[in-house]
Amino acid sequence: MYHYDVQTELVDHLANDIERIWIASPKISFEEARDTSFKKFGVFGFMDVITAKQKQMNKRYWKIIWRFVKEWFTPPKLLITVSIFISVYILLQFPISSYFILGALSIGVIAEIVMLFKVRKQRKFKEENKEKIFLLEDMIGSTKNGYTGLVFINLFNIVSTSRLDFSDSGLFWQLVFSGAITLLIILFNVVNNVLPQKAQELLEENHPEYTLVKKM
């Protein structure tokens, strides 16, 4: 199994199960208890543990994202957020605003592709050097490109096919679009800049053993 914390989770489940088997049948050998435990789990049993771990970490990953996103709605970053919102709102007043948005989305998609290649290169290097990698570490490095890249592509398709004229959409929808675009910009910044910069801090926070493992 690739991720170190997932490996640890599986070993912990096996160890606990083997201990229970030994308590129930103290005369059997370790090998017999181990084989019994393996048969009990089976391939799909292990997959259930892995899936549960991935779901748990995915929830934690998004909690971390929203934690940093919410910071942009408190002083002193709130001023920057308001400035972005006003700038986007002013931009939407121009009939050609959809072309600016399409251009920005195109740049975003290209940037995501470039970053994805860099992340895959770094991951390959770690694999070749047999470095222990945590699931959250991998999510901060590579999963972000799956989320934000997909969002950009979908938005690009929506804007290009619907031919929206933001300048003629009315005050309410202009405010809604401005808010959505502002949130997307903040989310992009958090996922692609803030989280990678704070990766080590976040990993130490969520995995106390991270520093010790990396020194091994």
Does residue 100 belong to any structural domain of this protein? yes
- The whole domain housing 80 covers 61-215
Residue spans of alpha helices (H) in 25-96: 30-70, 77-91
Residue 98 is assigned to a structural domain of this protein: yes
User: For position 69, what pLDDT does the model report?
Assistant: 94
94: left (phi over 0), alpha (psi -120 to 50) or beta: beta
**What pLDDT is stored for residue 65 in this prediction?**
92
Total domains in the chain come to: 1
Q: Per the domain annotation, does 93 fall within a domain?
A: yes
Q: What is the pLDDT of residue 53?
A: 86
The separation between the first and the last C-alpha atoms of the chain, rounded to the nearest angstrom, is 18
d(CA 22, CA 28): 7
Residue 189 lies in a domain: yes
- The two tokens of residue 121 are 């290169």
Asked if residue 13 is part of any domain, the answer here is no
What are the respective helix, strand and coil percentages of the chain, to the nearest 5? 85, 0, 15
For residue 203, tell me if it sits in a domain: yes
pLDDT of the residue at 35? 85
Residue pLDDT tens, the chain, 216 long: 568 888 888 888 888 888 888 888 888 888 888 888 878 776 666 788 888 888 998 899 989 999 999 999 999 999 999 999 999 999 989 888 888 887 887 787 787 778 778 878 887 888 788 888 888 888 887 655 455 666 666 666 666 666 667 778 888 988 998 998 899 889 888 988 899 899 889 998 988 888 777 666
Whether 108 is covered by a domain: the verdict is yes
With respect to residue 206, please indicate whether it lies within any of the assigned structural domains: yes
The Cα 22–Cα 15 span in angstroms is 11
* pLDDT given at position 162: 63
Tell me, what's the pLDDT at 211?
76
**Rama region for 170: left / alpha / beta (φ>0; ψ in -120 to 50; rest):** left
Residue 55's identity, in one-letter code, is: K
